[in-house]
Structure 1
Amino acid sequence: MTGVLVAAAVGVTGVGGATAAQSSPHEPARQDCRTYSSVKECGQPKLNEKQQQCVTAATQQGMTERRATVECRAFA
């Protein structure tokens, strides 16, 4: 019974929460930003050939593509 009440409460607040999460016309749109190794990158950076090769090598070694993109753009 408690699980049903919790699920109902989450469902009700989820609807209102989705509306509240939308940005208003007065707020800037959120950018896709991330920071790795003290380097902040927003959006999808353009990589040259050497940087793209670095990303490929880093992801093959287990690094996430998002992190590899930032670090290779900064250090390659």
Structure 2
Amino acid sequence: MKRVMTGALIAAVVGIGGAGAAAAAEPSHDQNTRQDCRTYSSVTKCGQVQLDEKQRACVTSAVQQGMTERRATVECSAFG
């Protein structure tokens, strides 16, 4: 009797875990409401990032050194 109850308990836990995983995989937003967000060096920027002249020069320099423009934009706007 103890084995049957243990087996039923394990099956119940696996069933609950499986249902939670399926719900977590569903998107939480419509594609129309999503923004172009990116995070680098613990800084998140969404949409079009406005840069001043010094920050634009920072982006240009970083891209010439091999950094992607998206990453350079975020890092230079935060630290440049």
Distance in 2, matches of 1:58 and 1:28, equals 32
Equivalent in 61, 64, 68 of residue 68 of structure 2: 64
Q: 5 Å matches for 1:1-76?
A: 23=30, 29-76=33-80
| Structure 2, unpaired ranges of 5+ | 1-29
Q: Secondary structure at the match of 1:40?
A: strand
Which protein is richer in helix relative to its size? Answer: 2
User: How many pairs align?
Assistant: 51
Instruction: Give the aligned CA root-mean-square deviation in angstroms.
Output: 1.4
How far the C-alpha of 1:48 sits from its partner, in A, is 0.0
Q: Name the TM-score, length of structure 2 as normaliser.
A: 0.61
Deviation at 1:28, TM superposition (A): 6.2
Sequence identity, in percent?
71
One-letter amino acid of the structure 1 residue matched with residue 43 of structure 2? V
Following superposition, the deviation at residue 46 of structure 1 comes to 0.5
Structure 1 unmatched ranges of 5 or more = 1-22
- TM-score norm. by structure 1 comes to 0.64
